Copies of this chain bind each other. A is one copy, B any other.
């Protein structure tokens, strides 16, 4: 008995030592940092209470101010954390509805992520933490115990853009084991985004997994391109950042390359139903402009078109750029689209700054007696809305 006990004790000690040994895998100087970090107490952040209120904590005896900025807060609002005698700053929210949220701390004026929460996403150049409040409003974006599709980062030649560049391709669960051909959704990101945005911020792959598992959405391939015509890949995987000027963002170059380079690549390399009845296109914001340019210049290419958070000109200045290509395309090709399409879907939040432009587009379509589905949501120009729109839109595809 004595020996057994000693062994047991030893095993615990071993556990600790292996843990320390194996965990020293960083090139970083952890010991040095620990010294500077003034030996922090155990911090849990964020901590979700049973009523879905959330406590955020940060340890810093030296900070003079810490604020919280969260995607659930109204524009212009932040929350101020208060410091206890141990140097731990904290703030507790009211109950939050189930959803995915992003947040940052603002530590002595510097926007930082919560060091206790390793889950972050990058939006354009900015990192923020993610926080999921579980429940009916977040189920559809969670990694649930359902079959999962694959996501591949594929490099393809784009002769139109004179670049070899990267895209993300979702293939549905079962693709690898089947001989079936699938329909395809081309899904475009917004300004400052890239081929990672729809999976990291949009969680498109998990939204599709969940809907397919429930039988609400047909299994499909989702192609998530990089809409920055001068960039080979996301800034994490290239030496370039997006060229975020109007002429570049609103140009026809990417839509052209989508038609000439991307679609042929996908239809050659994946088992797809290569016809307009099995092709959909959708995009958000800048990607919605690209969607409109692509679909209206090629009215026989897609039977399913989704416009998320953009319409026509939403102010007189922008009109000068977009009208150049877009208004003539609508004027000239709407009848050809009418003869071919199955679904024209428009979604916008009532607080979105592009709301008026969406109204202009709807008025134009109404004037031509062109049928579309309109999903007017609450909220603004946000990923929370775009995740919802994607879920709603994909359930209507290829029926």
- B22, B74, B106, B384: the one within 8 Å of A249 (CB): B22
Residues of B within 8 A of A350 (CB): none
Q: A18, B249: Cβ atoms under 8 Å?
A: yes
- B10, B61, B237: the one within 8 Å of A109 (CB): B61
Q: B126, A32: Cβ atoms under 8 Å?
A: no
Residues of B within 8 A of A71 (CB): 26-29
Instruction: Report the bound CA distance from A22 to B289 in whole Å.
Output: 10
Binds B, one of A34-42, A254-262, A292-300, A390-398: A34-42
Q: B32, A192: Cβ atoms under 8 Å?
A: no
Binds B, one of A48-56, A116-124, A325-333: A116-124
The answer to whether A63 has its CB under 8 Å from any CB of chain B is yes
Q: A77, B110: Cβ atoms under 8 Å?
A: no
- For window 293-320 of A, CB contacts with B under 8 Å fall at 314-315, 317-318, 320
Q: How many copies does the complex hold?
A: 2
Q: Mark A99-116, 1 if CB is under 8 A from B, else 0.
A: 001111011111111010
Most chain B beta carbons < 10 A, residue from A103, A148, A315: A148
Q: B60, A62: Cβ atoms under 8 Å?
A: no
Residue of B nearest to A77 (CB): B32
Q: A246, B286: Cβ atoms under 8 Å?
A: no
Instruction: Report the bound CA distance from A142 to B29 in whole Å.
Output: 23
Residue of B nearest to A129 (CB): B127
The answer to whether A378 has its CB under 8 Å from any CB of chain B is no
Q: Mark A40-83, 1 if CB is under 8 A from B, else 0.
A: 10000000000000000011111111010111011111100000
Q: A321, B14: Cβ atoms under 8 Å?
A: yes
Using known A-B contacts A102-B28, A124-B25, A191-B25, determine if residue A35 contacts B76 with beta carbons closer than 8 Å. yes
Residues of B within 8 A of A191 (CB): 18-19, 21-23, 25
A123 to chain B minimum Cβ distance, whole angstroms, is: 5
Q: A32, B108: Cβ atoms under 8 Å?
A: no
The answer to whether A24 has its CB under 8 Å from any CB of chain B is yes
Using known A-B contacts A17-B315, A69-B33, A353-B24, determine if residue A147 contacts B164 with beta carbons closer than 8 Å. yes
Residues of B within 8 A of A160 (CB): none
Give the size range of A's interface with the partner. Answer: 35 or more
Residue of B nearest to A203 (CB): B237
- B113, B232, B244, B318: the one within 8 Å of A23 (CB): B244
Instruction: Report the bound CA distance from A104 to B238 in whole Å.
Output: 22
Instruction: Report the bound CA distance from A60 to B62 in whole Å.
Output: 13
Using known A-B contacts A78-B33, A151-B152, determine if residue A38 contacts B192 with beta carbons closer than 8 Å. no
Q: B123, A28: Cβ atoms under 8 Å?
A: yes
- For window 203-251 of A, CB contacts with B under 8 Å fall at 232-233, 235-239, 244-247, 249-250
Listed by A's residue number, 20 A-B pairs whose Cβ atoms lie within 8 Å are A13-B317, A17-B315, A18-B191, A18-B245, A21-B353, A25-B284, A25-B381, A26-B71, A26-B124, A28-B123, A29-B70, A32-B77, A33-B69, A108-B108, A113-B113, A118-B122, A118-B127, A120-B127, A143-B239, A145-B164
Q: Which residues of A contact B (CB under 8 A)?
A: 10-11, 13-19, 21-29, 31-33, 35-38, 40, 58-65, 67, 69-71, 73-78, 101-104, 106-113, 115, 118-120, 122-128, 142-143, 145, 147-155, 164, 166, 173, 176-177, 190-193, 232-233, 235-239, 244-247, 249-250, 269, 284-286, 314-315, 317-318, 320-321, 353-354, 381-384
